[in-house]
Amino acid sequence: MMTTSTLYDSLVKIVGKDFVSDQKEERYFYARDGGLMPPHEPDFVVMPKTTEEVQKTVKLANREKVPIVPVGAGLALTGLVIPQKAGIVLDMKRMDKILEVNEKARYVVVEAGVTQGALKSHLQKHHPHLRHSIPDAPPIATIVANAVIHGQGRLSQQHGFNSDMVSGLEVVLPTGELCRIGSCSVSSYWFSKGAPLPDLSGLFLGWFGTTGIITKLGLKLYPCKKMRDVMVFLTDKAELVPDIMLRLSHTEMIEDVVVSAAPLPLRFRGTFWVMAYITGDSDEELEFKRKMVWDSLWQDFESRDVGFLSISPDMKPPLMSMPSKDTTRFADVSKGGGFQYAGPITPIEKFPAFISKLEEVAAKYSVFYASTTRLIGAGHCMMFSFSFSFNRANADEMARAKKALDECSKFALEEGGVLWKADIYEQKLLMDRMDPNTLVLMKKIKELLDPNGIMNPGNWEVG
Amino acid sequence: MQKYVSQIHRCFRCGYCKFPADYSSFNCPSYRRFRFDSYSTGGRLWLIYAWLRGEIDWSEHLAEILYTCTTCKNCTEQCPMKFAPDIVDWIVGARSDMVEKGKIPARVARFFEAVYGYGNPFKQLRSDRAAWANGAKRYAQGDEYLLYVGCLGSYDENGQKMARCLVDILKASGVSFGILGEQEECCGNEIYMLGETGLFQNLAEKNSLKFKELSVGKVITLCPHGYNTMKNLYPASGGNFKVYHYTQVLNDLIKKNKIEPARARARVTYHDPCFLGRHNNIYDEPRRILQAIPGIELVEMERNRKDAFCCGGGSGNFVTDLLAGSADSPARVRAREAYETGADTLAVACPSCLTMLTDAVKAENLDDRLAVRDVSQILKDLSPAR
């Protein structure tokens, strides 16, 4: 087995001296994320530029049985890229090329470090009639990491999880081989991640980097209309929200449906904001869609259960922005630089119970809360966030926020939800409930692909 | 300044600070250069917090991470949090703590030693401070303006050319002004940004007193760094005078038809200096001067105005050069961006930017295709004054 200094020299030979660090400062920063999981330092931080460099690094790690953790921007907040067993953190953000936009087949192929912001900007400048599903995460979040955690975005109401929009993968397997997944495995086109072939993308999506390192990804693009607007409806009846979401979705004219709830400002406490985003290529199209949205909720207006919020000009830009800076600002509500959320994926009928639980838990642990719900698919499920902000300088508040999150996660599981981007403890909760044969299958897959257990160890570890 | 100690934990490391407004590329010069997250603003703030809490010890590497920040203020522009306006103060506050403890990079220490000993960061003789001036008149009571050229204008070859051009234009336009010559002191902007608050205070008070003794009512600065410190920091040290960047004055002279530029033929792109643009919101005047020259086609780089990419020279880096040594050095990245516009001339309005970008254009082997010229140089070459 190599010594630490020999390993360092070997890594330098692969990526160059400027892009390997074993210094305390980098190890400190990459040991943690903005959430509440305990830190753990890597031995090295490495920044590859090419697929070949990733392959060489993985082969080295596999030979020396050194853990390796691929990292995007580290924004999952649940510690998914904290190197639980040290080793190498592979910061992928130098692999930042947008390789191809196929306008006719509506997909893009990106390297693993391309950020949401860079793709948005590239499409706006060079392909303004195309767009991708932008999540609410900050723009430094990478396309690949968002797909790997089954993220959602502005087009999830229409097209499902952002990982459903993947149209092909290039993966470095834990033993170093390079593998293509989907149509790109038999063709030069990246239009499908599976069909009509066996869909092998499931071996990598949702696995948090424990089965391989994605180096390229194809992503479906969608028509980008010239105009966009948001309509905001208010109700104080949580029990109506699932039906409102369903009726909005029934119009098949909505870009995105988001429901938010927060105790501040006081005038909105106890009120749910249902935001329906619409798009159009003309005033006529937009007006028609507005009318359809109105019609879909008319009965609620008549019963006075739902109201329409007329949005002032200064309120609209924050609501329309992609990504939403307001989501990030929640981290400073406690003037303390932290927030984390449990975001179970769950049937939308659970909205009233989840809101009630959120308020109960926030009061119990005396933590500041907010919630954002996003409709996924045509009402097939929703992501409901139990969000708590905390002050990083206040250990007690952090502990209370963690307890609140844990209680919400357990509640969500009991209610039939499935935890999204579960941390290592939540993964165990999920696996405790999982069909035993499913667990066996996961274990077999993991052992087959990663015989030395080097890939992001600690995550999805089936006992 | 020390309020950073109780506030710095508020950074969420969301990464907005790395970008321009359209997210098209990385706009934090040190992150763009080094690419480890530790070199971004978020990285720096988290490391400072760790240092304050004793979670990490001081190291040369930590100090270098702190001092590779050019205080360009891109992070302030992009950070979505309410504390955004305080970020540069937090960085300066942490540097100030390092200075107090005597724990700074050797290159920064040499910068301070040079200013202590020689009154400039280049270790040039005080008696040579006016060697550039070519007989320019000394300031005397009754002159409308004091022209303050600063250390770069006094000693740096590019800065000296720039200063001489400006003097010629002002003279030809009939402006009443004078220089301080050997009596001029360092303005202290870089000293402040590097965290040597004691030396800064000394310089600010000395300059303010001198200006008062000479009854200076209006100062023109050659350098945006000097403009920034005199406008924003000197008032607290007794500075009581109006300060203008030279582009403001030249723009005014053009408006009053005191300068009438001759026809030119050039495609020019303009680089916004951070201490003129983001620090002081002066974006239009330099552009108006260039647009007033018939035959000049002004083309914008992708990143301009509030989104301009720093040349990497701020916070003394034009001397300490902590961001150099790579094709990813900010000045080289910026030189390539300027060249991509199709411009034949890269216009600047800062002697630090002039030197950084002139060197970068050479390093990129673009010097036969892209000339780096200061706005006053461009104007002087084309302006028979009335």
- At B167 the three-state DSSP class reads helix
Task: Provide the pLDDT for residue A267.
Answer: 73
B12/A121 CB distance under 8 A: no
Average pLDDT across chain A, whole number: 96
Is the CB of residue A166 less than 8 Å from the CB of residue A201? yes
Q: How far apart are CA B337 and CA B356, in angstroms?
A: 14
How many contacts, defined by CB atoms under 8 Å, are there between A and B?
Answer: 111
Per the model's pLDDT, the better-predicted residue between B283 and B265 turns out to be B283
Residue A415 CB-density burial (10 A; 0-12 exposed, 13-18 middle, 19+ buried): middle
The pTM for the full model equals 0.96
Task: Provide the pLDDT for residue B386.
Answer: 39
Is the CB of residue A254 less than 8 Å from the CB of residue A277? yes
B10/A336 CB distance under 8 A: yes
Residue B161 has pLDDT above 90, yes or no: yes
Select from A102, A203, A132, A214 the least CA-distant residue to A169: A214
pLDDT in tens, B125-136: 999 999 999 888
| Helix, strand counts (H, E) of chain A | 15, 20
Nearest CA in chain A to B78: A325
pLDDT in tens, B279-338: 999 999 999 999 999 999 999 999 999 999 999 999 999 999 999 999 999 999 999 999
- At A22 the three-state DSSP class reads coil
Is the CB of residue B139 less than 8 Å from the CB of residue B180? yes
Query: Is A227-414 the same fold as A4-92?
Result: no
Q: Is the ipTM of this complex over 0.90?
A: yes
Pick the CATH number of A227-414 from 1.10.3720.10, 3.30.70.580, 3.40.462.10, 1.10.357.10: 3.40.462.10
Task: Provide the pLDDT for residue A336.
Answer: 87
Distance from CA of A27 to the nearest CA of B (A): 9
Residue B78 has pLDDT above 90, yes or no: yes
A75/B14 CB distance under 8 A: yes
Report the CATH architecture of A94-223: 2-Layer Sandwich (3.30)
- The pLDDT-based confidence of B385 (bands split at 50, 70, 90) is very low
Residue B384 has pLDDT above 60, yes or no: no
Is the bond preceding residue A265 a cis peptide, omega within 30 degrees?
Answer: yes
- The pLDDT-based confidence of B383 (bands split at 50, 70, 90) is low
B38/A325 CB distance under 8 A: no
Task: For residue A25, give the nearest of B10, B38, B80 by CB distance.
Answer: B38
Q: How far apart are CA A33 and CA A148, in angstroms?
A: 17
How many C-beta atoms surround the C-beta of residue A329 within 10 A? 17
Q: Please name the residue ranges forming H helices in A65-205.
A: 116-126, 143-148, 156-159
Select from A1, A40, A7, A38 the least CA-distant residue to A22: A7
Task: For residue B35, give the nearest of A94, A338, A339 by CB distance.
Answer: A94
The mean pLDDT value for A84-98 works out to 98
- B338: enclosing H helix or E strand: helix B330-340
- At B54 the three-state DSSP class reads coil
> β-strand A307-309 against A386-391: which pairing, if any?
unpaired
Residue A265 has pLDDT above 80, yes or no: no
Task: Provide the pLDDT for residue B2.
Answer: 60
Residue A261 has pLDDT above 90, yes or no: yes
The mean pLDDT value for A225-239 works out to 96
- The pLDDT-based confidence of A5 (bands split at 50, 70, 90) is confident
Q: Which residues of B touch A75 (CB under 8 A)?
A: 14-15
The mean pLDDT value for A137-150 works out to 98
Residue A245 CB-density burial (10 A; 0-12 exposed, 13-18 middle, 19+ buried): buried
Task: Provide the pLDDT for residue B133.
Answer: 93
Domains and CATH numbers, chain B: 4-104 (no CATH), 123-251 (3.40.50.1860), 261-381 (3.40.50.10700)
Determine the residue among B8, B12, B35, B87 to mutate to test chain A binding: the one whose Cβ has the most chain A Cβ atoms within 10 Å: B12
The mean pLDDT value for A254-271 works out to 88
Q: What percent of chain A has pLDDT over 70?
A: 100
- At A434 the three-state DSSP class reads coil
Tell me which residues of chain B have a C-beta less than 8 Å from any C-beta of chain A. 6, 9-16, 18-19, 22-25, 34-38, 43, 46-47, 49-50, 55-57, 59, 61-62, 65, 80-83, 326
> CA neighbours within 13 Å on the CB side: how many for B118?
18
Domain A4-92: assigned CATH number: 3.30.43.10
> What phi, psi does B70 have (nearest 5°)?
-95, 5
The mean pLDDT value for A139-160 works out to 97
- Residue B31: CB partners within 8 Å, gap ≥ 6? B18, B37, B39, B40, B41, B43
A140/B9 CB distance under 8 A: no
Distance from CA of B188 to the nearest CA of A (A): 30
Task: Provide the pLDDT for residue B264.
Answer: 86
Q: How far apart are CA A172 and CA A90, in angstroms?
A: 13
* DSSP secondary structure code for residue B133 in this structure: S
pLDDT in tens, A356-380: 999 999 999 999 999 999 999 999 9
- B322: enclosing H helix or E strand: none
The mean pLDDT value for A422-434 works out to 96
Task: Provide the pLDDT for residue B382.
Answer: 66
Residue B76 has pLDDT above 80, yes or no: yes
**Domain residue spans in chain A?**
4-92, 94-223, 227-414
Both structure tokens of B312? 């990497």
- The pLDDT-based confidence of A258 (bands split at 50, 70, 90) is very high
B61/A23 CB distance under 8 A: yes
Q: What percent of chain A has pLDDT over 90?
A: 90
Q: Dihedral of CA A42/A32/A56/A460: which sign?
A: positive
Q: How far apart are CA A121 and CA B25, in angstroms?
A: 9
Residue A14 has pLDDT above 70, yes or no: yes
> β-strand A213-220 against A256-261: which pairing, if any?
unpaired
